[in-house]
Amino acid sequence: MTIELIVQQILNALGLGIMYALIAVGFTLFFGVIEVVNFAHGEVFMLGAFVALLSGGILTSIGLTMGSVPYFLGILVLVLLTGSIFGILLERFIVRPMRGAPDIMTLLITLGASIITREAVMLFVPNGRNPQPFPKLFDVDSINIGGVLIKPETILCIILSAVLISGLYYIIEKTTFGRYIRATAQDREAAMMMGINVKKVFIITLALGSALGAVAGLMNGLSYGIIKFNMGFAAGIKGFAAAVVGGLGNVYGAIAGGMLLGFLEIFVVSTVPDGSSYQDLISFVIVILCLVFRPAGIFGERAYEKV
Whether 46 maps to a domain, the answer reads yes
Whether 274 maps to a domain, the answer reads no
Continuous segment of H or E residues that includes residue 239: helix 231-246
Measured in degrees and rounded to the nearest 5, phi and psi for residue 280 equal -75, -30
Whether 282 maps to a domain, the answer reads no
Nearby residues of 305 by Cβ (< 8 Å), 6 or more positions away: none
pLDDT of 183 reads 92
At position 28, the amino acid (one-letter code) is T
- C-alpha to C-alpha distance for 184 and 95, rounded to whole angstroms: 16
pLDDT of 200 reads 93
pLDDT of 1 reads 63
The three-class DSSP label of residue 129 is coil
Question: If the chain, 307 residues long, is cut into consecutive pieces of 10 residues, what is the mean pLDDT of each piece?
Answer: 79 90 93 89 95 87 82 93 95 88 86 94 91 83 76 87 92 92 90 91 94 95 92 91 87 90 86 77 79 77 44
pLDDT of 304 reads 39
pLDDT of 303 reads 44
Continuous segment of H or E residues that includes residue 149: strand 148-150
Alpha-helical (H) ranges within 131-250 are 152-174, 176-186, 188-193, 198-224, 231-246
Residue 226 Rama label (left phi>0; alpha psi -120 to 50; beta) = beta
Q: Give the torsion sign (CA, 15, 222, 253, 235).
A: negative
Whether 18 maps to a domain, the answer reads yes
Whether 251 maps to a domain, the answer reads no
Whether 70 maps to a domain, the answer reads yes
pLDDT of 300 reads 63
Whether 107 maps to a domain, the answer reads yes
Residue 242 Rama label (left phi>0; alpha psi -120 to 50; beta) = alpha
pLDDT of 207 reads 95
Whether 28 maps to a domain, the answer reads yes
Q: Which domain holds residue 100?
A: 3-231
How many domains does the chain fold into? 1
pLDDT of 28 reads 92
- C-alpha to C-alpha distance for 294 and 241, rounded to whole angstroms: 13
At position 278, the amino acid (one-letter code) is Y
